[in-house]
Amino acid sequence: MKIPDDAVIPDGKITNYLLVLKAKDDKSQFLAQAGFTQNNPDLLRAAIRELANNVEAIPDIQNEYGQFSLVIGEITGLDNCQIIATKNIKDFLNSALIFPNLSILKPEQIVRR
């Protein structure tokens, strides 16, 4: 299923949750490595919307807040991002392209950071 075009991402979900440093389950430092900060929340919203428009959503948990959906894919970072998250690390190991300022990591390595 696709996330509807009129689905709302509340401002607070981005500015008071995703982009705020948390002691537990922090997402802000990961997003900052892709260039998303409190200074540009609309760019993160646009990147999430672009992802939702291009992949299928998978039904996830349901609770008192409603039905949650899982969207798996890549969010395009901004200029000066520092990490590429990919399951295809071997493609970068012998590449003719050189990324001197980037770390190439598997998604699970980023979660552990």
Cα-Cα end-to-end distance for the chain: 32
Domain boundaries, the chain: 1-76, 82-113
Amino acid at 35: G
Q: What is the rounded (10 degree) CA torsion for 78, 112, 57, 62? A: -130
- Model pTM score: 0.68
Q: Do residues 90 and 70 touch, judged by C-beta distance below 8 A?
A: no
| pLDDT values of the chain reduced to their tens digit, one per residue, 113 residues | 888 889 888 999 999 999 999 998 888 888 887 889 999 999 999 989 988 888 899 888 999 988 888 888 777 777 666 666 676 666 666 666 565 666 777 777 765 55
For the chain, list the strands marked E by DSSP. Answer: 57-63, 66-71, 83-85, 103-105
